[in-house]
């Protein structure tokens, strides 16, 4: 398979982005209903640049800790380049 050879020889940085986690600071959480299914839009920034670009993760309410709010320090867990879970960092 020609495509398999390209994937196998992909740079390590690309492979590392498929699964992993990184820290963030929550800026805003907004509930969103799409066809009756509740999701949360979690806006966050890099803790090393808190005034920098705001990013967005759309996750289900089961994927965030209860009581998550703006200002919380979190760990964003990625799979295939998308946030799949957010956990709170106790002592940043």
6 located within any domain? no
57 located within any domain? yes
Domain range for 37 is: 18-88
The arithmetic mean of pLDDT across residues 46-50, rounded, is 95
CATH code where residue 76 lies: 2.40.50
With bands split at pLDDT 50, 70 and 90, how would you rate the model's confidence at 24? very high
Which H or E element spans position 70? none
11 located within any domain? no
Number of domains into which the chain is organized: 1
The arithmetic mean of pLDDT across residues 18-39, rounded, is 95
pLDDT of 67 over the 80 cut: yes
70 located within any domain? yes
pLDDT of 29 over the 90 cut: yes
- Answer yes or no: are the C-beta atoms of 26 and 42 closer than 8 Å: yes
CA-to-CA distance for 15 and 50, rounded, in angstroms?
27
CA-to-CA distance for 25 and 39, rounded, in angstroms?
19
- Answer yes or no: are the C-beta atoms of 30 and 44 closer than 8 Å: no
């Amino acid at each position: 398979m020609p495509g398999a050879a390209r994937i196998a020889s992909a740079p390590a940085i690309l492979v590392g982005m498929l699964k992993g986690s990184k820290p963030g600071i929550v800026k805003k959480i907004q509930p969103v209903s799409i066809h009756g299914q509740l999701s949360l839009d979690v806006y966050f920034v890099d803790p090393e640049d808190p005034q920098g670009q705001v990013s967005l993760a759309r996750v289900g309410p089961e994927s965030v800790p209860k009581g998550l709010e703006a200002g919380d320090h979190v760990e964003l867990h990625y799979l295939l380049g998308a946030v799949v879970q957010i956990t709170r960092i106790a002592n940043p």
